[in-house]
Chain A
Amino acid sequence: MSGHGIRRRLVVLLSASVALVWAGMLAFTWIDTREEVAEQADARLEEGARTIMLLDLPKLAALARAPAGPDDDDDDDDDLSLRFQVWDNAGVLRLSSRGAPQTGYRPGVGHAMLDHRRYAWHTYALRDPMQGYQVRVFERPGVRGRLVNQTATRMAQVLLVGLPVLALLAWISIGYGLRPLRRVSDAIALRDATRLDPIDRTAIPVEVQPLVDALNRLLARLSASLAHERAFTADAAHELRTPLAAIKIQAEVALGAVDEAERSHAMRQIIHGVNRTTHLVRQLLLLARLDQAPAAPAQPVDLARIAADSAARFAGAALDKGMMLELVAGDACTVSAEPVALGVLVDNLIDNAIKYGRPGGQVRVVVEPAPIALAVLGDGPAIDRAVQARLVDRFYRAEGNAAEGSGLGLSIVVRIAQAYGARLQLGPGINGSGFGATVSFE
């Protein structure tokens, strides 16, 4: 689920950001603490030196001999005891406390670092102006670092415990925050294929609304296309009923016929009816295939050649109706389409022109080279504009024509034309009279 993905991502990002900030804070605090500790330790050294300066030598000798503390050998706890050296003017060591390193004389005063046996000692020296003694106090090596580290470790420990707690809290609150999203996904998951009404967007957070809106738009499109499909199926079933009724009635007429002429007439009518139904079913299947499958890949096709083949197929039908079928085509005229589909397109146009043209009339098939277009023009009855607009509707058949048709021919033409970037235009036929259809390729 996407909810989990977002949750995990948010928690990881949040924890990482917090950890980064905390690490920065930790580093800053560490530096700060170190300075603080150094200042304090320096001050203590100075104070220690001044205290020793106040004492006279015999007292100092007693102090130097005294054990530094109850746990003299314990490295951890004798930090606070003073370690010192007292040097005279000549650089002779007069006194050295327990625990003070055996370093040589250094004449300078003030803070200094003394390396002695691998350790770096913080020292502070003062000179007694009257007697000329130099007093040097020592601080055990590593004391400052230990103090700083202890402080830093304590802070890090708090953070280390805090981070998982924060992550857990983040996980829970993000889960809570994403609940509206879960509600949306539940609302969608609950739907079956038949429920295409829009998802309620009232209780949905603004961040998710664009998603829900997009989904609703998709649902609307789906629902429209489904409704269109259902209407088509219903229309198709109804369209089949009339020829089926005719076949059935003609069969009953044949059975009840009293003479041979009547019977054979009815039989011929049955065959005619079956042919008509077959044609309707074929057109329906063709349209269904055009609707479902993606268009067959286009290739260069000679439109003039396709038009010539198609015209040849309808020569007989034209002659039967006493019509003059004429092809006006020049050189090869290459368009990008699929040859069989293009043939179906031209067939449908010529078939219509012959079927709905006037007996003894003309049908002219024109292939225009530039811009490339195919026109099928007739000189039969003109069709007014309002009717023309409806001709491409599925199952629409113009009124008052005696010819039988499926009402699908122009729908098929439009569908094929669309698939190959062409456009169907209806208008006047030969010399501005009659009716014509033009398919223009881009």
Chain B
Amino acid sequence: MRLLLVEDDALLGNGIEVGLRQAGFTVDWARDGNAAQLALQTTAYALVVLDLGLPHVAGMDVLAGLRAGGNDAPVLILTARDLVADRVAGLEAGADDYLVKPFDLVELVARIRALLRRARGRSVPTIRHGALELDPASLAVRRGAEVIALSARECAILVDLLEHCGMALSRARLEESLYGWNEEVESNAIEVHIHHLRKKLGADLIQTIRGVGYVVRKEPA
């Protein structure tokens, strides 16, 4: 799950980046409004974490540009100002949620998960598929009484595939949502993750479509 973090403060940005990565997200960190706009034009992000007090281009302008460009990725605003007027202005401009500094990392992660879930049209935190129940927050798959632990990236791939049931996702597409700007991607990384998922969950859940990518079939109705 690839997120864009737009934060000018080095210390806070670093903390959020590492924290979100710990939670299993892929994070690109833009340090000002210009970089953010550039990133948003070139990459499809699942969600944007946006600080309102930015140099060059103000956070609100980034948000306005994003919405004007037809991008409907969820946007979570970070703000130091807790006046109702500030928050209302953010929400009115198209933000989906806001957090007032200082905030808890766990709350930030929980709100990001909730926003992502809602964006995918789900209202429960877990994803069900047949006998499987995936809980992205705890990186675990439940099959009956059995609990199978996943790594953050395995989980992210599985969420992506389950949310696009019946649709093949290319290796490039999966890589993009899995790896940030400054991360080295080994050529067979996705294959390795798929291999591990098949070993943990059974070989027939994820199927390979040659030349296209990977797919999880829709549950028989």
Q: Could you jot down 16 A-B contacts, CB within 8 Å?
A: A241-B80, A244-B101, A245-B102, A245-B103, A247-B11, A248-B104, A249-B19, A250-B14, A252-B15, A252-B105, A256-B19, A257-B22, A258-B22, A266-B18, A399-B32, A404-B11
Pick the most buried of A246, A249, A257: most chain B CB atoms within 10 A of its CB.
A249
With an 8 A cutoff between CB atoms, is B191 at the interface? no
What's the Cα separation between A404 and B18 when bound, in Å? 20
Which of A238, A250, A400 is B81 in contact with, Cβ under 8 Å?
A238
Q: A238-B81, A404-B10 are in contact. Are A253 and B102 (CB under 8 A)?
A: no
B32 and A241 contacting across the interface, CB-CB below 8 Å: no
Residue of A nearest to B19 (CB): A253
With an 8 A cutoff between CB atoms, is B16 at the interface? yes
A256 and B9 contacting across the interface, CB-CB below 8 Å: no
Interface residues on B, range: 20 to 34
B55 and A262 contacting across the interface, CB-CB below 8 Å: no
Q: How far is the CB of B80 from chain A (nearest CB, A)?
A: 4
With an 8 A cutoff between CB atoms, is A48 at the interface? no
Q: How far is the CB of A243 from chain B (nearest CB, A)?
A: 7
B102 and A248 contacting across the interface, CB-CB below 8 Å: yes
Residue of B nearest to A273 (CB): B11
Residues of B within 8 A of A (CB): 9-12, 14-16, 18-19, 22, 31-32, 53, 55-56, 78, 80-81, 100-106, 108
Contacts of A386 in B (CB 8 A): none
Q: A241-B80, A269-B15, A402-B10 are in contact. Are A249 and B105 (CB under 8 A)?
A: yes
With an 8 A cutoff between CB atoms, is A44 at the interface? no
What's the Cα separation between A414 and B185 when bound, in Å? 52
Residues of A within 8 A of B (CB): 238-239, 241-250, 252-253, 256-258, 262, 265-266, 269, 272-273, 276, 397, 399-400, 402, 404
Residue of B nearest to A403 (CB): B10
Residue of B nearest to A252 (CB): B105
Q: How far is the CB of B84 from chain A (nearest CB, A)?
A: 14
Contacts of A238 in B (CB 8 A): 80-81
A-B contact sample (16 more), CB < 8 A, given A242-B101, A252-B106? A241-B80, A241-B102, A243-B9, A243-B11, A245-B12, A245-B80, A246-B9, A246-B11, A249-B103, A250-B15, A252-B104, A252-B105, A253-B22, A266-B15, A269-B11, A269-B14
What's the Cα separation between A239 and B53 when bound, in Å? 11
What's the Cα separation between A186 and B70 when bound, in Å? 61
A242 and B55 contacting across the interface, CB-CB below 8 Å: no
Which of B18, B102, B108 is A244 in contact with, Cβ under 8 Å?
B102
Which of A247, A249, A276, A404 is B16 in contact with, Cβ under 8 Å?
A249
B55 and A246 contacting across the interface, CB-CB below 8 Å: no
A400 and B18 contacting across the interface, CB-CB below 8 Å: no
Residue of B nearest to A400 (CB): B55
A272 and B106 contacting across the interface, CB-CB below 8 Å: no
Contacts of A272 in B (CB 8 A): 11
Contacts of B80 in A (CB 8 A): 238-239, 241-242, 245
Q: A245-B102, A400-B55 are in contact. Are A262 and B10 (CB under 8 A)?
A: no
Q: How far is the CB of A410 from chain B (nearest CB, A)?
A: 17
Contacts of A252 in B (CB 8 A): 15, 19, 104-106
Contacts of A243 in B (CB 8 A): 9, 11-12
Contacts of A276 in B (CB 8 A): 11
Contacts of A245 in B (CB 8 A): 12, 78, 80, 101-103
Contacts of B55 in A (CB 8 A): 397, 399-400
A253 and B15 contacting across the interface, CB-CB below 8 Å: yes
Which 10 pairs between the two chains have the least Cβ-Cβ distance? A249-B15, A399-B55, A245-B102, A246-B12, A245-B101, A252-B105, A246-B11, A241-B101, A241-B80, A238-B80
What's the Cα separation between A399 and B81 when bound, in Å? 19
A256 and B22 contacting across the interface, CB-CB below 8 Å: yes
Q: How far is the CB of B149 from chain A (nearest CB, A)?
A: 14
Residue of A nearest to B33 (CB): A399
What's the Cα separation between A239 and B81 when bound, in Å? 9
Q: How far is the CB of A361 from chain B (nearest CB, A)?
A: 21
Contacts of B78 in A (CB 8 A): 245
Q: How far is the CB of B118 from chain A (nearest CB, A)?
A: 24
Q: How far is the CB of B59 from chain A (nearest CB, A)?
A: 13
Contacts of B105 in A (CB 8 A): 248-249, 252-253, 256
